[in-house]
Amino acid sequence: MAHKKMTNIYLFTRYERLWHWLQFVLITILMITGLEVHGVYQLLGFDKAVAIHNFAGITWLILFFFFMFWVFTTGEWKQYIPTTRKLIDVALFYAWGIFHGEPHPVPARKGAKHNPLQRLTYLGVAAALLPLQMLTGFLYWSYNSWDAWGLGFLSLHLLAVVHMAVAFAILIFVIVHVYMTTTGHTVTAHIKAMITGWEEIEEGELVQEWEKHSP
């Protein structure tokens, strides 16, 4: 097999990388403290776990608003526009081709950082899972104000169930996401890109048809 020539492109900005790693830290803290609050184990003590969980949750909520502001003011929202072009090809690549040395059907580009499968996944997480988790968490945190806000009809038990269910969905996403970071041309290539901002790709790869015609 011929040796592939690689080249670097600056793919992730400093802000994206900072947001990514802060989000990872906050989600980890929220998972650890949230499980303790639910009595899965005892590590920090209930009161301290609740205090840390609440602080991390509010911090996450604030950072999410900053991220959304950045996405829409910089035009980066276009990176998340869903498309089905090459979607099957990407799915087959991760299910089969990646284990047989086949090239990625949709290599990353500055104007198209995420492939079709990533777009659908990240959009679902950013537009559905995260807002739902933050909303249920905020409502749970503000329980004592429900009556004053006219929200006394809400069920605290149902809210807790939804909050926990979404937490496990996010946990599954994180596990899969961490695994996917190992699927670059080297095991650490994608992680390195999220640290330095520079992604190494095969030299001479052309813009894909799905990029030209994506909505």
In a domain, 1, yes or no: no
Domain count within the chain: 1
Q: Which residue has the tokens 């604030």?
A: 62
From residue 24, how far is each of 19, 44, 171, 174 by CA, in Å?
Answer: 8, 20, 11, 9
Per-residue pLDDT reduced to its tens digit, 8-54: 788 888 999 999 999 999 999 999 999 999 888 899 999 999 999 99
In a domain, 213, yes or no: no
C-alpha dihedral (31, 63, 68, 11), degrees to nearest 10: -80
In a domain, 143, yes or no: yes
Per-residue pLDDT reduced to its tens digit, 153-206: 999 999 999 999 999 999 999 999 999 888 877 888 889 989 998 888 765 544
Q: Are residues 194 and 12 in contact, defined by beta-carbon separation less than 8 angstroms? A: yes
| Residue 63 to residue 111: CA distance in whole angstroms | 24
pLDDT exceeds cutoff 70 at 95: yes
DSSP lists the bridge partners of residue 112 as 109
Q: What angle do CA 64, 65, 71 make, to 5 degrees?
A: 85
Confidence bin at 209 (pLDDT 50/70/90): very low
In a domain, 211, yes or no: no
In a domain, 150, yes or no: yes
User: Which residues, including other chains, have CB under 8 Å from residue 169's CB and lie 6 or more apart?
Assistant: 129
Give the 3-state secondary structure of residue 98. helix
| Residue 179 to residue 173: CA distance in whole angstroms | 10
Percentage of residues in the chain having pLDDT higher than 90: 52
pTM of the model: 0.84
From residue 70, how far is each of 77, 98, 116, 135 by CA, in Å?
Answer: 9, 33, 22, 20
CATH code of 28's domain:
1.20.950.20
DSSP lists the bridge partners of residue 200 as 8
In a domain, 74, yes or no: yes
Write down the pLDDT at residue 214: 46
In a domain, 84, yes or no: yes
Domain assignment of residue 104, given as a range: 6-205
In a domain, 214, yes or no: no
